[in-house]
Structure 1
């Protein structure tokens, strides 16, 4: 398990994202919009068991000098554990005039350390993270509604599940079909939580989630 390494310089300013993770129950600090979008995908991925931003600083000798670098994210899922390096593609493309020598050196330093320590290293750019803006938008909508399945009221879960057995319907129609003494906000929040947990599903690749979005049981 890791704890975030604090970034002393440039802690405040433009393009900073200080967000609250309901999964980790703490604040997460991100230092550009690409890191933020990656966090959105990570926070909303139920297969992720734990993660940590800026988890580890390393110093690796490369070409006669020592390169200091901090991993952008450590992620532990059910199937693997990996360290993540996040940069815009132009930064690590040697053929691009806007490439960053420092970014390239840090990338290789991390690769070397991971190879020596038998760790998985993952390089992500905007091409990997932002391949579908609709998915990211939907994840941003869903994140505030995360709650463990065990915290969803059993009677509400049962009502939603039984109504969804009738086939695909819009979120609004699903809400209307449920006869409950619970407040409508609790019903809507529970529906969104069940989408996050994969119990309910919708065409998240193409449709923006709202009251008119068609959802169904994920069977």
Structure 2
């Protein structure tokens, strides 16, 4: 509910150019001042590297690889529907642009530099890289968690959260996105992951029934 309310509030403010967008301007100014004060080339490179991890050329292959590994582990563990991780991953990869691209085109929000959108640009809201990272790495972690123990699931959850946070913060640090672009995609991805985690396809299914004599 909280994620949904925040997503709706931010989207409304972006649509009407509301006062909440002052948070974006404050964050951009603070980041630029900090970047100028530190003048750290390694930190700037780190921000760009994290930003790049949100690209489809990185996150989608990781998602598909994670699904393949999950399917193999489930097959070896005797899960009845061991093949499900692969179609779930493929559907997720196709869903990301279907959610993000129409929203970008509808809101048509200029980027942090304030330049008007070119004819071939969709807009900056919500952040496509953040959504891709949240859903790509998040769904991969959910699928791998089906055969993981409690400690491994905690490590997967923490690692994925840190990675997704790094992508979003890297985008803001590098002036690729407004802060609220990133927050909206975190909320959107979080809502979908919450729903998927409660869907039978990503629950821990039962193992195959061992064959009985005469089967």
TM-score, normalised on structure 1?
A: 0.26
**Bigger CA radius of gyration:** 1
The structure with the greater share of residues assigned to helix is 2
The structure with the greater share of residues assigned to strand is 1
